Structure formats: structure tokens, C-alpha cells
A and B are shown apart, each in its own frame.
Chain A
Amino acid sequence: MSELSVVGKALVRTDGLRKATAQVTYGVDFKLPGMLYGKLLRSPYPHARIISIDTSQAEALPGVKAVVTGKDSPEGLFGSRINDQPPLAREKVRYIGEPVAAVAAVNEATAEKALGLIRVEYEEITPVFDPKEAMRPGAPIIHADLGKYQASPIFCHPVPGTNIMNYMKIRHGNVEMGFAQADFIFEDTFTTPAQHHCCLEPHAAVGQVGLDGKATVWTSTQGPYKVRTESASALSMPPSRVRVIATQVGGGFGAKGRAKLEPHCVLLSRKSGRPVKIVLTRHEVFTATSTRHPSVIRIKTGVKSDGTILAREVEVILDTGAYSESGEIVCWEIGQGAAGPYQIPNVKVDAYAVYTNKVPAGPMRGFGWPQIMWASESQIDIIAHKLGLDPLEVRLRNALEEGSVSATGEVMHSVGLKECLREAAAAIGWDDQRPPNRGRGIACLTKMSVPFLPSSAFVKINEDGRVGLLTSAVDIGQGSDTVLAQICAEDLGVGLSDIEVAVPDTDTTPPDMGVIASRITFHVGNAVRLAAADARQQVLALAADMLEASPEDLLLADGKVFVRGSPDRALSLAQVSTAAFFQKGGPILGRGSFLDEDVVPTDPDTGQSPKPCPYWKYGATAVEVEVDPETGVIKVLKLASAHDCGRAINPLLLNGQIEGGALTGLAYALWEEVVFDGGRITNPSFMEYRIPSTVEAPNISPIIVEAEHHAGPFGAKGAGEASTIGVAAAVGNALFDAVKVRIKDLPLTWEKVLAALEKKADDDRKEA
């Protein structure tokens, strides 16, 4: 590739100055004249029929301007790929915290008071909280209409008449034969808890509906178009009658990818005739938005005595809570990767997403892969220790590489896994001698990208030669405004500061499927390149006229068009774009749309596809820990996180992504768990659900590995989620290395470590 001037550089983020000085407007800050404040009345029961709702007293309270219930949106259902959720409960409620009614009033206190005046009569139904129980015949059915819901046939295979919202399977080779040939067979069951996103900015939205019925929503969202589609679906409106504008977003991590309170703002505004703002309290964010999926994962692996993996059989049960909330696609993805990033000739996977009467589990940084990699990579370690092999060597022996065939029948490309393993191991001194109670652990990670998510971009050359970049990618902190601007600047031969990135707005910026699945750099980046190429070609055509040269002889660099070989025959971009304005009557407007066209839907019976997704990410996490045998506390001394990101468009921002994701992964490993008592969350505050602060967080070493992808913009893949994925297994493996106890249930709390140490001491005594 020729010299690049903007791409690949560690440039500071373009919105840093505004954020350091608080010149940004988050969802919680947004205000309109005459605005009302909304509050949601939520179900106190996990599963109950709604007999009646009496809102008369609430409506009579001075200051209350509107009260809405399920009757105000009698039909529409929404969801990500399966529409199973009403904006306000209709006949029944399915989790504690489900919205039942909403109030808009002149201030929050009045709205809150009005909630207390709404009388709801419920009749309780037997709830079910455990996904395995929910799968048994005779379990209470949470969605009687499961078979009637509108669902994507590519990703969703619900089992009507049960609580199985999605079922996916992989059949590759013949596992029975593989097990028969194996020298050893291992079978283990691992579990993971719910984890919470903990965006520091709570969910917030403002809705305004005119008398003409058009709704405008300003919201702290990762996916303006997704919110538009889902809100329209929930309210039975045409999508283009809902305009969604993204505010600044104070953290997303998956929690803000979909409609949450936007439909309620619209309903309340429609009824009151005034703009309505809803901001969730921290308690509501914890109890009534979404979590990472809890899971139970059973893995059976057959290996030869040299560590070669011959067969793997995996059963995954995801607790998806009361509504799908993207659980269908988490299930689909987790199934794809259940065998791990290895060359295994025989694979069988059955993955289920199961409804329970709990707050919906949804997408969260890593999207199912932290769960599956915890299980898969812990077991690889168990195997290595049993066979007396180096865990690093076992991984390197089986790891995918360029040209390997995956468990879903794909010939793999852009696979930097082995290099990541070697680099992460080296960074913590893999082979160093360690004192007692210290240990090292490593784990691979992989994650697929979600297929069939188109992106588009417009590039507008202003009359001053500066470039407007219009996409619907929201910079939620990951730095996409900067990265996309770098790509655009590179292709148009201008500087980063010459690019103005537009605010995502579904009335003006082009469609996009949202800041999810680490897809922005790849998908939107490709769309930006196409749009920039389109604009560039228009610039060159016009400049060719003006310079009386042929377009092929022109170069575009440093904000100028010039004739190859004679740099003084040149025009500034401003001159060309001004000419376009005044001679052609319009700006130069480039357009680009990208879809991973070569992706083939997986076979529903075998999960096989020559190309199930646009690209795969790979990486490895290595840690060194010290375990205090008296307290059971695991202290992480070193954490190295290596990532094959294809190509780093901006290493400074990429390293920030790796570090942030790794800490979320470490929190998942050691501390965080949303605790349920039946359907009720018992730790819904930052006091009870502790996220790591500066004192708990270790220093993290990010490592960038570049295995360029032929379809990526400048070879880049995605980066946002990967580093969260492999941490838990690396820590669990290091725990074993340090004190020889294996824990199969996250998080690895000091209580569990102590109990395991005591049990081990007992067992050792008995043996002696």
C-alpha cells in the first residue's frame, strides 16, 4: 500500500476538546421549551395478568398532562430480529420492572407522585426463572404467541409452544466418530452470571410529536435507525414518520442499541401535545434495561494425547429474560463460535436462548463471546494440564490460521491468532519462574461480525473545500467520528481537521444498522471510502474541465488538485467545489453504500456456510496473578491483551478500546454479577454492584497485531468488543496455575476461591 498520511496515525480524537470542556449535549442534558417530564410505572410482579388499570386519579392530579397505558399502543410489537415486545404491557407482564403505564407532568416530582395514584390490578401467574426449568415440558409459557411473532428466518428459529426463543445448531463432520478416535475425552459444565453495562450516562430521551403526527426523538442511542425501526414498529407507524436524532452518548456497550424509552416519549408527547423527556434513574437502569446473558455451557472435547482436538460437542443455554432484546442473535453468534478458534474436524453445537421472567438480557460488549470463550478456553486449559502439555502450545497446535477450515465450513482469511498468542504470552513473561501462589494464564478470543448489516455514507464538499461527512454511526466514545474522518481525509487528500462529521439524524444522514458488533470501522468505513471515491471522481472530472487536462492525469493531495508532473497547474478543492456550486448548481456529493455481499446465510440444519459473516476478529489475553491463600483474593499483576484488528486506523484510540474492554472483561472475571432473587435484582446500585475504580484496575498492556483483511477499509477489521472476551478464562487459568484450583462458575470471587482451596486441602488430606 502506498504511503498513508492520516490513516494509521495515532491522532487525538476530534471531539476531545469539546468533551474536556463539557461543550457537548448528552441525552440527559437535552431540553426543549415547554418540555414535560415522563416517568414509567413498572410491574412489581415477574409474571402476572393485568386485570385492570385505573388512571383517573393520576390524571386528576394538578400538573399531570398525560397518562398512557397499553391501550394507547394496542397492537405494535418490536424487537431486534423477532418482534415480541410491546412498549407498554398489554394483557400481561413478564418481568419485574416492565413498563405498564407512563405519566407526563410538569416536573419529575409530580410525575412520580402520579405513578403512585395509578391503580393496577394484577393476577399473578407462576413465574419461571431458571432457563433449564423453562425448557422443560409443562413450564409456564411466557410468550404464548411465540409462533406468530414476526421473525428473521436467517437468524431465528423459535420453538412455538415452548420458551425457546431461538435454537441454532451446527453439525460439522461426525462427533461420534471423533470421540471414538480420541485418546481422552473431557466433559465440563461452566456457568456465567448476568453482567451490567453500567454506562455512566443513564438512558435518556426527549420525544416531540406534532399535530401532523410526525414524531421527533432526541436520544442517547447507539443506533438511530434501529430506534426508528423499533419505535415505528412498536407504535404501528411508518418508519419515516419517526425522526431520530442522536445526542452525545455517555457510554453504550450494547445497552443503548435499541428502542427503550423512545416509544414512551412519543406516546406521551402525542397525548399531551408537548415535548416529553424521560431520564431513567440509576435504579431503573440496573433493574429494567438489560444485562449480559447468563449462561450454562456444557462442553465435551475429544483429544489425542499430543493435544490435537478431534471433536467438540457443545450445548449452550442462554437465559434471555422476558423479551428477545437481541438474544436471538447472541444465541446465533455464540453457536457459531462455540467450538473455539481451532481447527476441529468434528463439531456439534446446540445453542438455545430461553425466555425467563427476568429483565431481558441483551447485547453487551462481546455479545455472547465472553461466555463461550470462558467455557471453551477454561476447558482447553484443563486438557493441557491433564495431558502435561504447555497450555500455550496446545492452543498454538490447534489454532486457526490463514486458510484453515472453520467449524462452519469456512476457509478462513485474516487470522492473526497465533501471533496474538505469542505476543500476549511474551508480554507477561510466559516462561518465567514464579514464586508460590503466583500463576500465569492465557486464553484465545475470537468473535464474528454480524452479517447483513448495510451501511451508507454521504460525502459533501463544501464551497470552502472542507468536507462534510454524513453517516449514522454514533460516536459513543469509541472514537468512530475520528476514525471515519481519518478514512475520509485519506481518500480525499485533505487533513483530519478539514472533515466535519455530521450528527446522526434519520431525516438527513443515510441508513445504518448501528454502533453494534464492532462494525463501524469495517462497514461504515467501507461506505465512507466508496462515498469519498465517488466525490473524488466528481472533483477530478470537474477539475479536468477547468484545467483542460484529462482526469487520469490529475492528483488529489493536500487539499489541491494538480496535474501529474506539473504541480503549478493546480486548483484548490475550494476552487473546484465553488465552481460546482456556481457552475453546476450544486455541491459535490459523493455517495457510498456497503453490504457484505459475499456472505452466505448459514444452513439452518447444519450451521454451515462458506462465508457466514464479513470477517472474524482474533486475539489473546495473558495475565499473571497472585492469589492470597488466606483471603482468596486474586490480584492481577499483569494483563496483556493482543488484538488482530486487521489494521489500526488510529493506534491511540485502538489502544484505548483494548484497555477499556479488557477492564470490563476483568470485572466479569473477578467481581461483577447482577444478583437475582427470583425475578428481583438485589444489587441495583453502584454501592451493591461495584464496578472497578482506579484502585482495583491493573495496568493493562495493549498489543496490536495487524493481519490485514482484503475487504476491510485499508485492511481494517473491528475492535470495540474483542478485548472483553478472553479475560475471564485467562484469569481462571492463571488461578489454577497459581494454586491448583479450578472454578467453573464466574465470577471468581474470593469466597469461591477460599471454598475451593479448603476443598482442595480436604481432598489432599484424604488422599494422603
Chain B
Amino acid sequence: MGWRGVRLQSQHLDIAPNTVGFGHTPVLPAHNGYIPVALRGPMTHALCLTVNGEALEFSVEPHLTLLDLIRDHVELTGCRRGCDSGYCGACTVLLNGKAVHSCSVLAVAADGAHVLTVEGLVRDGRLHPVQQAFIEHGAIQCGYCTPGMILSSVALLKENPQPSEPEVRAYLSGNLCRCTGYVRIVQAVLAAAESMREERA
């Protein structure tokens, strides 16, 4: 039946998923449910992952994405599925400190890595300055893009503690938001950079 063929095909076109996000590091293209013939079968791989500081072990099928692993197995829903094909950034996590689209990373490729999700940003009941700034500056509307947006911003400010507005805009271009028009998101990131600098000083 043609219909399903269409769906799989169009997802398959998105094989270069990491080209969108400026701040996103290519790891391995995921196959979004498509399992190459060579990989089919009940084969599983052992996998160690540190998620938000906690060391976890899994046994996963080779086609499982990091997004599926985090959402369905670790049950951290701040990691969100928006498109499953590397274009929206809702699934952003920090993989060894780099922002990646977790839907476009195979779980097995993240073996041994440190993963940070938005749930891991709160330390001792204190919000990360980026979270605080997002709240105060009205950078959150429906909130669906928010965790990914916040994590990309955290990665940016680690790389570049004093970004200009165009730098913020360039870095966040892999995180789509349909609600805000981005004005307040950009303001929040600049404000967070400021407050983090003050904290350090």
C-alpha cells in the first residue's frame, strides 16, 4: 500500500540530519525506524551511558535512537520528539557537552558518553541561569521547544560566554520554535550570559 511507503521514504530523505543546527555536532545518522537488512534480527548491544550524572546500563537493538532510549527507557520526557528526522531540535540533549539532535544519534553510538537532559540542569534545587532567564524574559510559551532551546543555549554559553546577538541566533538555528518569534529567547540567552559572567566575577 502506497501510503506507508511514502512516509518511510520521505523520512529517509533526511539522511543528513545534522546539517541544520549550527551548534549541533554530527555523530551518526539515525535511520528512523528503518533497519538495514544486515542489522535486522533480535541482535542487541550492551551499552553504558551516564545520564544526568547517573551511570546506567542498557541492552539495546542497534537501530534504537538516543531519543527513543532517553524517552522510552530512561523515561525523561524533557527530551522531545518533534520530527524524528533531525530538523526541529526538540530532542536536543548535550552529549559530552555538545548539543546534538538525539533523534539523529544511534544509542549504540553514544556508548560510554555523558548525556545531559534538561532534567539534569537543576542542581540542588537551583535552576540553571539559562532556565531562570527563559522564565523571566517570557521566552517560554507552549514550552515544547524549551528544553532543547535551553540545552543548546547552555552549550553555546560554555563555548562562548559572551556571544553577540547574531552568534546566539546562529547557534540556536537548529532549534525551531513556532510560538515565540524568538525575540525573547534571544534576549533570555543574552541576559543569561550576562548573569553568568556576573556570577563568575
In this complex, how many residues of chain B approach chain A with their Cβ under 8 Å: the count is 63
| Chain A CB within 8 A of B168 CB | yes
Q: Which residues of B contact A8 (CB under 8 A)?
A: none
Q: Are B142 and A250 in contact (CB under 8 A)?
A: yes
Q: Which of A374-414 contact B (CB under 8 A)?
A: none
Q: Are B3 and A686 in contact (CB under 8 A)?
A: no
- Residues 79-92 of chain B, each 1 if its beta carbon lies under 8 Å from chain A, else 0: 01111110110100
Q: Which residues of B contact A684 (CB under 8 A)?
A: 10
Q: Are B144 and A250 in contact (CB under 8 A)?
A: yes
Q: Which residues of A contact B14 (CB under 8 A)?
A: 685, 687
> Quick check: which of A10-18, A307-315, A441-449 contacts chain B, the rest being far away?
A10-18
Q: Are B131 and A20 in contact (CB under 8 A)?
A: yes
Q: Which of B146-199 contact A (CB under 8 A)?
A: 146-147, 150, 168-170, 172-186
Q: Are B118 and A12 in contact (CB under 8 A)?
A: no
Q: Are B173 and A693 in contact (CB under 8 A)?
A: yes
Task: Please pick, from A20, A41, A96, the residue contacting B146 in the complex, using a CB distance under 8 A.
Answer: A20
Q: Are A44 and B2 in contact (CB under 8 A)?
A: yes
Given A22-B119, A656-B180, A691-B178, check contact A13 B169 (CB 8 Å): no
Q: Are B185 and A694 in contact (CB under 8 A)?
A: yes
Task: Please pick, from B78, B117, B138, the residue contacting A655 in the complex, using a CB distance under 8 A.
Answer: B138
| Chain A CB within 8 A of B77 CB | yes
The chain B residue with its CB closest to the CB of A26 is B144
Q: Report the separation of the CA atoms of residues A96 and B2 in the bound assembly, to the nearest whole angstrom.
A: 11
The chain B residue with its CB closest to the CB of A15 is B143
| Chain B CB within 8 A of A236 CB | no
Q: Which residues of A contact B175 (CB under 8 A)?
A: 693-694
Q: Which residues of B contact A24 (CB under 8 A)?
A: 143
Per DSSP, chain A at the interface is: loop
Given A44-B1, A200-B90, check contact A686 B178 (CB 8 Å): no
| Chain A CB within 8 A of B4 CB | yes
**CB of B97, distance to nearest CB on chain A (Å):** 20
Q: Are A685 and B85 in contact (CB under 8 A)?
A: yes
Q: Which residues of A contact B178 (CB under 8 A)?
A: 197-200, 251, 253, 660, 664, 691
**CB of B201, distance to nearest CB on chain A (Å):** 25
| Chain B CB within 8 A of A476 CB | yes
**CB of A278, distance to nearest CB on chain B (Å):** 14
Q: Bin chain A's interface residue count.
A: 35 or more
- Residues 20-36 of chain A, each 1 if its beta carbon lies under 8 Å from chain B, else 0: 11101110110000000
> Quick check: which of A182-190, A264-272, A279-287, A569-577 contacts chain B, the rest being far away?
A279-287
| Chain B CB within 8 A of A141 CB | no
Q: Which residues of A contact B11 (CB under 8 A)?
A: 283, 685
**CB of B8, distance to nearest CB on chain A (Å):** 9
Q: Are B141 and A248 in contact (CB under 8 A)?
A: no
Q: Which of B30-55 contact A (CB under 8 A)?
A: 33
Given A200-B177, A201-B82, A253-B178, check contact A248 B122 (CB 8 Å): no
| Chain A CB within 8 A of B56 CB | no
Q: Which residues of A contact B168 (CB under 8 A)?
A: 694
| Chain A CB within 8 A of B94 CB | no
Q: Are A700 and B183 in contact (CB under 8 A)?
A: yes
Q: Are A20 and B144 in contact (CB under 8 A)?
A: no
Q: Report the separation of the CA atoms of residues A19 and B148 in the bound assembly, to the nearest whole angstrom.
A: 12
Q: Report the separation of the CA atoms of residues A43 and B90 in the bound assembly, to the nearest whole angstrom.
A: 30
**CB of B60, distance to nearest CB on chain A (Å):** 15
The chain B residue with its CB closest to the CB of A248 is B143
Q: Are A656 and B138 in contact (CB under 8 A)?
A: yes
Q: Which residues of B contact A656 (CB under 8 A)?
A: 138, 141, 179-181, 184
Q: Are A653 and B138 in contact (CB under 8 A)?
A: yes
The total of Cβ contacts below 8 Å across the A-B interface reads 189
Q: Which residues of A contact B144 (CB under 8 A)?
A: 26, 199-201, 250-251
Q: Which residues of A contact B181 (CB under 8 A)?
A: 656, 659-664, 697, 700
Q: Report the separation of the CA atoms of residues A16 and B83 in the bound assembly, to the nearest whole angstrom.
A: 24
Q: Are B169 and A22 in contact (CB under 8 A)?
A: no
Q: Are B1 and A116 in contact (CB under 8 A)?
A: yes
- Residues 693-709 of chain A, each 1 if its beta carbon lies under 8 Å from chain B, else 0: 11101011000000000
| Chain A CB within 8 A of B57 CB | no
Q: Report the separation of the CA atoms of residues A200 and B2 in the bound assembly, to the nearest whole angstrom.
A: 26
Q: Which residues of A contact B132 (CB under 8 A)?
A: 20
Given A20-B140, A112-B4, check contact A29 B185 (CB 8 Å): no
The chain A residue with its CB closest to the CB of B79 is A22
Q: Report the separation of the CA atoms of residues A110 and B14 in the bound assembly, to the nearest whole angstrom.
A: 24
**CB of A619, distance to nearest CB on chain B (Å):** 15
Q: Are A200 and B145 in contact (CB under 8 A)?
A: yes
Given A16-B140, A20-B135, A477-B141, check contact A659 B180 (CB 8 Å): yes
**CB of A199, distance to nearest CB on chain B (Å):** 6
Given A200-B82, A201-B144, A655-B138, check contact A21 B10 (CB 8 Å): no
Q: Which residues of B contact A96 (CB under 8 A)?
A: 3
Q: Report the separation of the CA atoms of residues A693 and B82 in the bound assembly, to the nearest whole angstrom.
A: 15
Q: Which residues of A contact B82 (CB under 8 A)?
A: 200-202, 282
The chain B residue with its CB closest to the CB of A199 is B178
Q: Are A281 and B146 in contact (CB under 8 A)?
A: no
Q: Report the separation of the CA atoms of residues A663 and B183 in the bound assembly, to the nearest whole angstrom.
A: 10
Q: Which residues of B contact A109 (CB under 8 A)?
A: 33
Given A22-B119, A112-B4, A694-B169, check contact A200 B176 (CB 8 Å): yes
Task: Please pick, from B1, B83, B182, the residue contacting A685 in the complex, using a CB distance under 8 A.
Answer: B83
Q: Report the separation of the CA atoms of residues A28 and B7 in the bound assembly, to the nearest whole angstrom.
A: 19
| Chain B CB within 8 A of A302 CB | no
Task: Please pick, from A43, A97, A660, A694, the residue contacting B186 in the complex, using a CB distance under 8 A.
Answer: A694
| Chain B CB within 8 A of A42 CB | yes
Q: Report the separation of the CA atoms of residues A16 and B20 in the bound assembly, to the nearest whole angstrom.
A: 28
Task: Please pick, from B77, B85, B145, the residue contacting A282 in the complex, using a CB distance under 8 A.
Answer: B85
Q: Are A21 and B176 in contact (CB under 8 A)?
A: no
Q: Which of A258-305 contact B (CB under 8 A)?
A: 281-284
**CB of B168, distance to nearest CB on chain A (Å):** 7
Q: Which residues of A contact B7 (CB under 8 A)?
A: 281, 283-284
**CB of A139, distance to nearest CB on chain B (Å):** 26
| Chain A CB within 8 A of B127 CB | yes
Q: Which residues of B contact A198 (CB under 8 A)?
A: 178
| Chain B CB within 8 A of A478 CB | yes
Q: Are B182 and A694 in contact (CB under 8 A)?
A: yes
Given A21-B118, A22-B118, A115-B1, check contact A694 B172 (CB 8 Å): yes
Q: Are A19 and B87 in contact (CB under 8 A)?
A: no
Q: Report the separation of the CA atoms of residues A201 and B81 in the bound assembly, to the nearest whole angstrom.
A: 7
Q: Report the separation of the CA atoms of residues A417 and B144 in the bound assembly, to the nearest whole angstrom.
A: 34
Task: Please pick, from B3, B85, B117, the residue contacting A687 in the complex, using a CB distance under 8 A.
Answer: B85
| Chain B CB within 8 A of A249 CB | yes
**CB of A482, distance to nearest CB on chain B (Å):** 10
| Chain B CB within 8 A of A732 CB | no
Q: Are B138 and A200 in contact (CB under 8 A)?
A: no
Q: Which residues of B contact A115 (CB under 8 A)?
A: 1, 4
A–B Cβ pairs within 8 angstroms, 10 of them: A18-B143, A22-B118, A200-B82, A201-B144, A202-B82, A655-B138, A656-B141, A688-B10, A694-B173, A700-B181
Which positions in A face B, CB cutoff 8 Å?
12-13, 15-22, 24-26, 28-29, 41-44, 96-97, 109, 112, 115-116, 118, 120, 197-202, 248-253, 281-284, 476-479, 652-653, 655-656, 659-664, 684-688, 691, 693-695, 697, 699-700
* Besides the known contacts A20-B131, A20-B132, A20-B143, 6 further A-B residue pairs in the complex with CB atoms under 8 A apart: A200-B142, A686-B88, A693-B175, A693-B176, A693-B182, A697-B182
Which positions in B face A, CB cutoff 8 Å?
1-4, 6-7, 10-11, 13-14, 20, 33, 76-78, 80-85, 87-88, 90, 117-119, 121-122, 127, 131-132, 134-136, 138, 140-147, 150, 168-170, 172-186
- Which 9 pairs, one residue from A and one from B, show the smallest C-beta to C-beta distance? A22-B78, A477-B142, A250-B144, A19-B143, A659-B181, A477-B141, A686-B87, A663-B181, A16-B135
